[in-house]
Structure 1
Amino acid sequence: MTKAAGLPAHLAHPFSPAGRIDPYPAYAWLRTHDPVHRDPMTGMWLVTGYADCAALLKDPAFSAASGQRERSRDDDLPVSMLTTDGLDHTRLRAPGALLLGPAALASVADAIAADADALLDRAVERGVPVDAVEELGAPLATAVLARLFGLSEDGRATLAALARAASVNLDPLAPPQIARVGRAAMGELTRFLDAHTDRADPHCPLGRLAADTRLTRQEMLGVLGLAVVGGWQPLAEAVGNALYWLLPRPEVRAALRAGGRDAADTAVDELLRLEAPIPFTARVTVHDAELPGGRVPAGQRVLAVLAAANRDPAVFADPDGLVWDRRPNPHLAFGGGPHFCLAARLVKQSGATLLGRIVRRFPEAVIAGPDPRWAPSLIPRRLTALPVDLGTDVPDAGSRDAGVPDAAGLQDAHA
């Protein structure tokens, strides 16, 4: 295949200031004309077709560990599932399920539901438009991790601040000065988790992970740090991104109210497909690799552009629209293959818990003020703010249970 020199002049590069706001026109052109594209602006390969991304994520020729070592930073991330491949990755991932697997999430499901209710109760008490990004998404993400870690209320503010600062480590293209901030925050986060682990309730998910003898202390802390970096930010931003699509569509909200928990679970998958907080993942080819859309030589930096693959019309009918009951929905918002995000279940089930309650309790909720703006960041894909007028609270006998995954639902959900 002959590689195109670059995008047409009328399209903003997806990493340019304008392209970061709306990368989808450029993604669509690349996906159609050059799905395995050598990008002259970055020197990287941008893989945008669904078939190509799905194949890349499963192919050991594309190394995640090497992808992380090629980041724009002058240090190494802690050893974790993100920075290892093959047998080392598998060895670390299995104990990680003690923290993020079905049983761990089921053990805190009721507490997370109570946290979601408390967030919405506080929003009602304030009586003003609530910023869904800062006042719903971020506190929910903090509450979920605090439950898994067995943190007291006093530790939540520290966790939230460190999680936000360390989340820059998700971005493989972060400028050096931003990467330095992320490095420092990751060190502080590791020290915070290290100190807390010795005090953790042995019956909480963190306590069970800490007692597992398969990992060294540093490996265990690496898993914890990745859970924060890979779980907090995606969940925090997914709430605002989802409500951006959901609130202007009263017919979808009515269907979710009628459908209960199963409908909320299905809708969250679709909302993540449309606006994945983590739009791409980095790899490096350890040898020449063939993808359906083209060949990538050895030693190349590659981005699997998940956000582009998730809107591939070859896989998804009406790819740019919200089809809330889409089934099957094989989106790649959490990656795929051996490195499929271990926090996927956390993000999906916690998001469904909160969104199910919002559509049930606040049938008149609307976006308040001018059109929301997308932040000029590559990772995460997020809104700068999303002011929401919740309208009238309509509590009823089933409002706090409808649309909320219970322990059984968490165990049965697809990983």
Structure 2
Amino acid sequence: MDDAVDADGILLSALAPDSRDDPYTPLAALRDAAPVHHHEPLDTRFLTRYADCQAVLSGPSFAVPDREWLVRERPEWLDRPAADFFYASLLGTNGAAHDRLRRPLAGAFGRGRIAELSADVERTADELLDRFADATSDGGAADFQALVGYPLPVAVVGGLIGVPRADQEQFHRLGQDAARLLEPVRSAADWRRADAAVTALREYFAALLRERRARPAGDLASTLLAEAAAERAPVAEHELADLLLLLFVAGFETTAGLLGLTVFALLTHPDQAALLRTDPALLPGAVEESLRWDGPVLMTERLAVHTTEVAGVTVPAGGSVTTVLGAANRDPLRYPDPDAFLVRRPDVRVLSFGAGPHYCFGAALARLEAVALLGRLLARFPGLRLAGPGVRRPSACLRSFDELPLATTGR
């Protein structure tokens, strides 16, 4: 199966709505048929092998689409607030521009600061599980994502940044709408939702910075303002607002996805959940295996800085490649028996958080939240079970449950 028509068909099958439960079977077929497949309508080359994806994400020959690309290739997007934000943010900058924006965040997401957040994460997880226990105490079901999966990362990153608890619930919908920017093909509806969400979020975080300038607090918003005022961080105030916007939305959207996906993986593999209940020391490895087996980001795009080759295929300067992280994480050349979910799997080094200059700065915090929550969830609810089909995010790029009904007692 090596002709373009067959490979295109396999790819479209993997990205189709009816493959949301399992895009991995068609992606494995695509990897076998054409591990570097140029999809001409999208004009990008889909990469499905671990080594190829890692090389593209880590090496200097590829960069993210940035504002120069936007002006050159998509000038019709220039007046869109969402595009203005995305292609000037950490996600859409390269080289020195990227380093300038990322540098002020080093302390906020460094190892020491993440360790300091551990007690807050654990306390918040306990509070949310109390609420989940109350909701399921009559033997009925409750939506894990609504009660725990989303509120935990929203509270954690909101507290870190300085978003008051009373304001946090409004960000669920806005975050989902802003995340439509990550879709490989953006419809007119996607743009409308993303533009409205970015406009509202920019206004919110600009107001938050004005509040912190008048009344500083011990949060990241105040710290960034102080560093900018002292010229330790040469970042303009509107850029600070965009940094906070990105941190907040990215900090809860993908982590909420990770939490729901991991709970689902464990409940559909009860033997693996039993291992964790017996030996909680396996929890960090279980989170890594969940990220490998079904991570929250399926794919991400890069552009060739100059004419180069990927697995013997020439990519011209400016040519697009799409690293399919989900397929790479199940590459049998990297992981034996890749479709098995095994919490004791050795040597798991996922690409789920990216690699290279754009490695996710919040990866350690997401892992901390997942380990803290899962250990408590499994210990507290030995009869935890799925109570119906979950509702998956309608997205070709982000994998998450919008709803995940669970019950805490057996049938």
1:204 maps to amino acid? D
Q: Counterpart in 2 of 1:292?
A: 311
| 1:182–1:117 Cα change, 3 Å | same
Could you say what secondary structure the match of 1:165 adopts? helix
Shift of 1:11: 7.6
Q: Counterpart in 1 of 2:104?
A: 95
Distance (whole Å) between structure 2 residues aligned to residue 8 and residue 222 of structure 1: 37
Shift of 1:334: 0.7
Distance (whole Å) between structure 2 residues aligned to residue 294 and residue 382 of structure 1: 33
Could you say what secondary structure the match of 1:100 adopts? coil
- Structure 1 residue 327 corresponds to structure 2 residue 346: yes
Give 5+ residue unaligned stretches, structure 1. Answer: 393-415
Q: Counterpart in 2 of 1:204?
A: 219
The answer to whether the 8 A contact 1:73-1:176 is kept is no
The answer to whether the 8 A contact 1:170-1:230 is kept is no
Shift of 1:255: 2.2
Of 289, 308, 327, which aligns to 1:308? 327
Q: TM-score, normalised by structure 2?
A: 0.87
Q: Counterpart in 2 of 1:140?
A: 152
| 1:11–1:224 Cα change, 3 Å | closer
The answer to whether the 8 A contact 1:98-1:208 is kept is no
Of 157, 168, 180, which aligns to 1:168? 180
Q: Counterpart in 2 of 1:232?
A: 252
Q: Counterpart in 1 of 2:134?
A: 125
| 1:199–1:159 Cα change, 3 Å | farther
- Structure 1 residue 192 corresponds to structure 2 residue 184: no
Q: C-alpha root-mean-square deviation of aligned residues, in Å?
A: 2.4
Give 5+ residue unaligned stretches, structure 2. Answer: none
Q: Counterpart in 2 of 1:273?
A: 292
1:196 maps to amino acid? L
The answer to whether the 8 A contact 1:108-1:147 is kept is no
Of 396, 405, 410, which aligns to 1:378? 396
Q: Counterpart in 2 of 1:17?
A: 17
Shift of 1:41: 4.4
Shift of 1:131: 1.4
- Structure 1 residue 244 corresponds to structure 2 residue 264: yes
Deviations 1:52-75 (A, max 9, x none): 100111233322134983689553
Deviations 1:247-298 (A, max 9, x none): 13333223223333x4222111111111111111112223212123522222
Could you say what secondary structure the match of 2:335 adopts? coil
Deviations 1:24-80 (A, max 9, x none): 122112212211110144332111111110011123332213498368955334222
Q: TM-score, normalised by structure 1?
A: 0.86
Distance (whole Å) between structure 1 residues aligned to residue 173 and residue 10 of structure 2: 40
The answer to whether the 8 A contact 2:150-2:256 is kept is yes
Distance (whole Å) between structure 2 residues aligned to residue 246 and residue 366 of structure 1: 10
The answer to whether the 8 A contact 1:11-1:25 is kept is no
- After TM superposition, the structure 1 stretch with the greater mean CA deviation from structure 2, 179-188 or 294-303, is 294-303
Q: Counterpart in 1 of 2:114?
A: 105
Distance (whole Å) between structure 2 residues aligned to residue 181 and residue 363 of structure 1: 40
- After TM superposition, the structure 1 stretch with the greater mean CA deviation from structure 2, 311-320 or 27-36, is 27-36
Shift of 1:10: 7.4
The answer to whether the 8 A contact 1:7-1:13 is kept is no
Distance (whole Å) between structure 1 residues aligned to residue 320 and residue 65 of structure 2: 12
Could you say what secondary structure the match of 2:364 adopts? helix
Structure 1 stretches (4+) deviating beyond 6 angstroms? none
The answer to whether the 8 A contact 1:34-1:293 is kept is no
Could you say what secondary structure the match of 1:252 adopts? helix
1:94 maps to amino acid? R
Distance (whole Å) between structure 1 residues aligned to residue 296 and residue 362 of structure 2: 13
Q: Where in structure 2 are the equivalents of 1:19-34 lying within 5 Å?
A: 19-34=19-34
Of 120, 123, 135, which aligns to 1:114? 123
- Structure 1 residue 49 corresponds to structure 2 residue 67: no
